[in-house]
Structure 1
């Protein structure tokens, strides 16, 4: 579906004075907002805390013990074909998306050796979901008869925000159990995807899981096959986009931490002064496109935002908004462990493998199968570059983080040896580890008070994958979509034309299935 923006002038030069906007955060959301504004002639400055762009999809170089410079990141990301708005952003730097390469398969395996694959599935809903279930070794035809159609009805009747109003108060684990999926199928068909939100299913909203099912199965024909960048994220994605934006007048300041905002500025018409580690910047508008922790910190420190310009939100709107921002949660920490091995991984291994019930390991990537830098290292050393992920990996109370992560790394490597026995013979030439806790939490019942792109403060907007947007998007695509929407809201305020957004259908695609689901939901 195409969502048309407000119309208006094509360039800010027609306004007499070009507005100035500061985008706080150089991740996907911030870069989408900067692109949307700059393409309409707005003067844009991007302030990024890290020394690189891309946020949680950023890339940089590090040095192995032998002195070799290698590419590093915060871990594998899948660029699904349904990420229309993210792909529109990446096309600014790579018009043909030539830096994205398709993975031929995306198998899932569990502790009992059951193996699912997405290769060769039909692309037409609902046959894609039916074929996946019936082809799975964890799901027998008799299991289809035992499913609780009433409990499963929300999966066939997803609309946004309607699905959140219906089941956001239910956790994903309870929801899937109520459908009567076989336990093994729950591991492979649902838990693997719920953990992509970096949270255990028992703490994640069932509405988020249902929305994902709609995005990847019943709402689209792209399925679950995806692309990956052919090199480090900085080289393949963000350097080309940075060049594109620089030619349009966008300035970038990296390694700069924003502490607070305040009303007013020294420049003509300035509404805000942005305080940061390099001093301060005045702007007509601000996009806060930080992670959840950064957003909470900046808003808490910004005591002088004035009164809301709009009376639509009613008295106390600013205080309620502050409380909603403060209530945003972060998902449990996760581990990314990248290993440079002196032995190649067997050629039969897939580039990416998802796991279920193999605690603490969630997936394995063989980077030298698709990333140029890793492939070059593997060729020189006759080895391989492997990455392991462990999501929702919080240490027990009272356990030291360093001791916990050391044990976690050992357990992940032991799982790798079980899955890929040839790696047990390998010597680890280099190891780099990321231990992070900065992904948004999509907890049970959170949706209603999750902050939206719009705020009660005129000229201040939010963007990011933790920000509410009433469209069927998730993960990186939510970040990109909120970034475009943030730009559109500011552009509309200046009488400038916005940018269209595209999503999978906002309701179930199949009329008979949707009507049956509506009937079943009313009967619950």
Structure 2
């Protein structure tokens, strides 16, 4: 397999975490372990893949009737009975998502079901525009070039910044950055270093809200880690791939076919999916576990991977008094979800203008955060647009309410989103809405100041119970979908070690900043003024 197809990217300074040696096929050494994976999102699918490839018998229990979790895809019908693809909104597959790509190449060795976008423009309410097209990939020149060509950032702004206070941003070390900055919110930190306000709104606010939280409630350590992953810690660049079709077609149906195919040397184990089933309770039973679900069935397992979302994890642990100790259970109970968000998808009777970007980030344009033109990159949407002469447009509103609002407030938000769309893309004002969906969710993990230290990790008090997901602590420079995939692989590796089985090699961007000079400055005490 080539470097390009393996998903490991072009950055020669990426960090490799070698697999532990051991058995390649546990089914040849007695009865294979039986593992239940709770949750079929990215984390659960990575864990199931890692275990099945070492000969385990894996059963995956998923509450929804589709795979992929928050990156899942399904079908809906418009008013005219047309079947259309639907999902929870745009996702960017960055080149530095090594461990997610490691999962996807199982069923797509050349990653041909992903498509690289040429740009990802950001526009603020004043019409100022940033672009990632043509940036150098090598740090720190990528960040410097982005800043100096931005209409909201000038050379004088760079001079006015408090370089010593800003040093941790340029010299991140994971997990040490959390000890330095996790007590601060991102907005306060950027203000303290004198980062220009206009640039904050156009760049950092757009990125922080991709974590489904506004800068004033996001940890400054998470912001710094994000800056490291995408800019100063990686030379993979900031343009990204998108799925060529709805996520079920492009990603998860092919992976499920790989996992459920007859036993092969590469997949000596087996995977069985139970969709539309919710786990109610997990009890310890000797060295193993007994799981009860909402169908009334019980399943026995030698090990369990809990890869549910935050609410699901809290619910299951609260209903399972024999799991863990008091301190661990308190950590799980303290986990919180980010504010609610909305995805408004529109099927319009006419196209948007040809020069519109596939994906546009909107800064300072509340409640609108992003506009996607799906028929520019997603096959099902393109087929519909080609057949009707219309277009499929998606509007994202992140962190719009602490909880999902009542119907009247949701209707008001819909109208505000449409007004923003018509203002930014005036040709849509005259379009007839052929179909629309407004999806509300509140199930993304919260990354607020102080959350990191209390967050439970992959290991638990029971050696054969492990956690996985993007809300689970892992002391590596990963975020969002990549955090989910990484924790899933590590959860599998954690269990495989107990059975003397070989693990799986992982990769990340470097765990600390690349510049020795910036690291030295960052570790010095700040001088008094």
User: In the alignment, which residue of structure 2 is the partner of 1:245?
Assistant: 259
Deviation of the 1:522 alpha carbon? 8.0
User: In the alignment, which residue of structure 1 is the partner of 2:454?
Assistant: 449
Q: Go from structure 1 to structure 2 and tell me whether the alpha carbon gap of 1:413 and 1:165 turns closer, same or farther (over 3 Å shift).
A: same
Is 1:259 the counterpart of 2:275? The answer is no
Deviation of the 1:304 alpha carbon? 2.3
SS of aligned partner of 2:187: helix
Per-residue CA deviation, residues 95-130 of structure 1 (Å, 9 max, x unaligned), is 100000011110000011110000000111000000
Alignment of 1:125-204 (within 5 A): 125-204=139-218
Alpha-carbon distance in structure 1 between the residues aligned to 2:528 and 2:387: 64
Deviation of the 1:449 alpha carbon? 1.0
Alpha-carbon distance in structure 1 between the residues aligned to 2:38 and 2:356: 41
SS of aligned partner of 1:30: helix
Alpha-carbon distance in structure 1 between the residues aligned to 2:406 and 2:449: 27
Alpha-carbon distance in structure 1 between the residues aligned to 2:378 and 2:251: 13
Q: Which runs of 5+ in 1 are unaligned?
A: 309-317
SS of aligned partner of 2:350: coil
Deviation of the 1:277 alpha carbon? 1.7
1:225 pairs with one of 239, 243, 249? 239
User: In the alignment, which residue of structure 2 is the partner of 1:285?
Assistant: 303
Per-residue CA deviation, residues 350-406 of structure 1 (Å, 9 max, x unaligned), is 00000110010000000000000000100111110000000001169xx95211111
With normalisation by structure 1, the TM-score equals 0.95
Alpha-carbon distance in structure 1 between the residues aligned to 2:519 and 2:212: 30
User: In the alignment, which residue of structure 2 is the partner of 1:428?
Assistant: 433
User: In the alignment, which residue of structure 1 is the partner of 2:376?
Assistant: 369
Alpha-carbon distance in structure 2 between the residues aligned to 1:71 and 1:440: 26
Deviation of the 1:83 alpha carbon? 0.3
Is 1:319 the counterpart of 2:333? The answer is no
Conserved? CA contact 2:41–2:69, under 8 Å: yes
Q: Go from structure 1 to structure 2 and tell me whether the alpha carbon gap of 1:261 and 1:181 turns closer, same or farther (over 3 Å shift).
A: same
Is 1:61 the counterpart of 2:75? The answer is yes
Is 1:121 the counterpart of 2:135? The answer is yes
User: In the alignment, which residue of structure 2 is the partner of 1:311?
Assistant: none
With normalisation by structure 2, the TM-score equals 0.94
SS of aligned partner of 1:484: helix
Per-residue CA deviation, residues 313-370 of structure 1 (Å, 9 max, x unaligned), is xxxxx10000000000100000000000001000000000001100100000000000
SS of aligned partner of 2:429: helix
Conserved? CA contact 1:290–1:464, under 8 Å: yes
Deviation of the 1:13 alpha carbon? 2.1
Alpha-carbon distance in structure 2 between the residues aligned to 1:136 and 1:332: 30
Q: After alignment, is 430-439 or 2-11 more displaced?
A: 2-11
SS of aligned partner of 1:455: coil
Is 1:85 the counterpart of 2:99? The answer is yes
Deviation of the 1:521 alpha carbon? 5.4
SS of aligned partner of 1:392: strand
2:490 pairs with one of 474, 485, 490? 485
User: In the alignment, which residue of structure 1 is the partner of 2:292?
Assistant: 275
Q: Go from structure 1 to structure 2 and tell me whether the alpha carbon gap of 1:111 and 1:62 turns closer, same or farther (over 3 Å shift).
A: same
User: In the alignment, which residue of structure 2 is the partner of 1:312?
Assistant: none
User: Which stretches of structure 1, 4 residues or longer, exceed 6 Å deviation after superposition?
Assistant: none
SS of aligned partner of 1:425: coil
Deviation of the 1:474 alpha carbon? 0.2
User: In the alignment, which residue of structure 2 is the partner of 1:12?
Assistant: 26
SS of aligned partner of 2:313: helix
1:337 pairs with one of 338, 341, 344? 344
SS of aligned partner of 2:157: helix
Conserved? CA contact 1:465–1:475, under 8 Å: yes
User: In the alignment, which residue of structure 2 is the partner of 1:45?
Assistant: 59
2:421 pairs with one of 416, 421, 424? 416
SS of aligned partner of 2:470: coil
SS of aligned partner of 2:399: coil
Alpha-carbon distance in structure 1 between the residues aligned to 2:258 and 2:380: 23
Q: Go from structure 1 to structure 2 and tell me whether the alpha carbon gap of 1:400 and 1:200 turns closer, same or farther (over 3 Å shift).
A: closer
Alpha-carbon distance in structure 2 between the residues aligned to 1:56 and 1:377: 24
1:380 pairs with one of 356, 367, 387? 387
Deviation of the 1:261 alpha carbon? 0.3
User: In the alignment, which residue of structure 2 is the partner of 1:502?
Assistant: 507
Deviation of the 1:236 alpha carbon? 0.2
Is 1:294 the counterpart of 2:312? The answer is yes
Q: Go from structure 1 to structure 2 and tell me whether the alpha carbon gap of 1:130 and 1:400 turns closer, same or farther (over 3 Å shift).
A: closer
Per-residue CA deviation, residues 259-280 of structure 1 (Å, 9 max, x unaligned), is 1100117xxxx61001112311
SS of aligned partner of 2:338: coil
Conserved? CA contact 1:149–1:520, under 8 Å: no
Conserved? CA contact 1:153–1:520, under 8 Å: no
Alpha-carbon distance in structure 1 between the residues aligned to 2:19 and 2:102: 15
SS of aligned partner of 1:259: strand
Alpha-carbon distance in structure 1 between the residues aligned to 2:440 and 2:118: 29
Alpha-carbon distance in structure 1 between the residues aligned to 2:525 and 2:226: 21
